[in-house]
Amino acid sequence: VQLQASGGGLAQAGGSLRLSCAASGRTLSRNAIGWFRQAPGKEREFVSVISWSGDTTYYADSVKGRFTISRDNAKSTVNLQMDSLKPEDTAVYFCTAAPRESGSRFWAARLDSYDYWGQGTQVTVSS
């Protein structure tokens, strides 16, 4: 499966952006989908994950209450609505698919829990 993240761009602090992750090659209906981000000079970090059913979601503490993840399995897309953006949200955002439907929060935050990675989309938040 190929994943393509889109929707990144430039936003002011306090603004919003909506990222989308689209799958091609096959549907995403049996995969948990995660979002990670990587800022310059920093390690890639967990942002959010959604189970294949959409019933279970987890968020990093740094984005909880500001970001919302959702999915439409019929369209093989996963969205990340980012509100109240902060300059520290600036990073390249990656979507990724796991070879399972869901898992624990501990499992979701691990890079090696995921098989497929998209190319990423740049998000820049100015102060």
For 121, the token pair is 């989309």
pLDDT in tens, 109-122: 999 999 999 899 99
Do 106 and 84 form a contact (C-beta atoms < 8 A)?
no
- What does the DSSP 8-state code read for residue 107? H
pLDDT in tens, 72-112: 988 889 999 999 999 999 999 999 999 999 999 999 999 99
For 106, the token pair is 């501990």
